[in-house]
Amino acid sequence: DAGVTQSPTHLIKTRGQHVTLRCSPISGHKSVSWYQQVLGQGPQFIFQYYEKEERGRGNFPDRFSARQFPNYSSELNVNALLLGDSALYLCASSLAERLGGYTFGSGTRLTVV
Amino acid sequence: KQEVTQIPAALSVPEGENLVLNCSFTDSAIYNLQWFRQDPGKGLTSLLLIQSSQREQTSGRLNASLDKSSGRSTLYIAASQPGDSATYLCAFKAAGNKLTFGGGTRVLVKP
């Protein structure tokens, strides 16, 4: 059974550009969350989606947006990239909205130059 | 503000020693607490999940305890091996549908 898959694994973007990161949850999982992890720190919550609706939003600027599709996969979009957006972006899926644990993907390493 | 503190930030032990990793949190109304392992540049691997009604969970050489009243969780790794070298993160889930993470403990097990 496939785990949480994220694409791409790495990418390099220039300041001011836009980026789209993709995530496919474990089959049967309806909740997808996004986290940003800066080097040397713990992950910070960005968004949670459940059944295609936004259920939680972290303290990130409006340049960050996300959506969940009918097949429960998700996209994270970041506009007007800044150098400080360079980080590992992690996607996690869970079976239910509130209960149970999370399974994380391998992440997308974004470098903004 | 919900916070998680992990002590120590880094730990180096010889192979075979037991590891004790500490996690303290400020929110007593948690739904559950999860311990993760992270290898350099990689994603998170779930180790143990403790529901708020439970006191501990065990998996092989790993044991995690939870004391909600004092806001503490401890991860024990018995008979450490060089392959246990990694960063260990704890995170709790409470209202707000998010995991709140600590900064992690970086572990090095020397052969």
Each residue's pLDDT tens digit, A5-62 = 999 999 999 999 999 999 999 998 999 999 999 999 999 999 999 999 999 999 999 9
Scanning every residue of chain B, which has its alpha carbon at the shortest distance from the alpha carbon of A101?
Answer: B49
The pair phi, psi for residue B28, each rounded to 5°, is -80, -15
What is the signed CA dihedral for B66, B100, B44, A5, rounded to 10 degrees? 130
First to last CA, chain B: 41
CA dihedral A78, B91, A69, A1 (to 10 degrees): 120
Instruction: Please give the Cα distance from B68 to B57 (Å, whole number).
Output: 14
Confidence of residue B70 (pLDDT cuts 50, 70, 90): very high
What are residue B88's DSSP bridge partners?
Answer: B37, B105
Chain B residues within an 8 Å CB radius of A92: 44, 99
* Mean pLDDT calculated for residue range A54-81: 96
| Bridge partners (DSSP) listed for residue B35 | B48, B90
Chain B positions touching A40 (Cβ under 8 A) are 103
For B6-58, what is each residue's pLDDT tens digit?
Answer: 999 999 999 999 999 999 999 878 889 999 999 998 999 999 999 999 999 99
Distance CA A105, CA B7 (A): 26
Give pLDDT, residue B95: 79
Residue B1 confidence (pLDDT) above 70: no
Q: How far is B107 from chain A (nearest CA, A)?
A: 13
Q: Minimal Cα–Cα distance from A58 to chain B, Å?
A: 8
Chain B positions in Cβ-Cβ contact with residue A106 (cut-off 8 Å):
42-43
Answer for the pair A78, A18: CB distance below 8 angstroms, yes or no: yes
Mutate to test the interface with A, among B99, B100, B101, B105 (most CBs of A within 10 A): B99
**Averaged pLDDT, A86-90:** 98
Interface of B with A (CB under 8 A): 4, 31-32, 34, 36, 41-46, 49, 89, 91, 93, 96-104
Q: Considering only alpha carbons, which residue of chain B is nearest residue A104?
A: B44
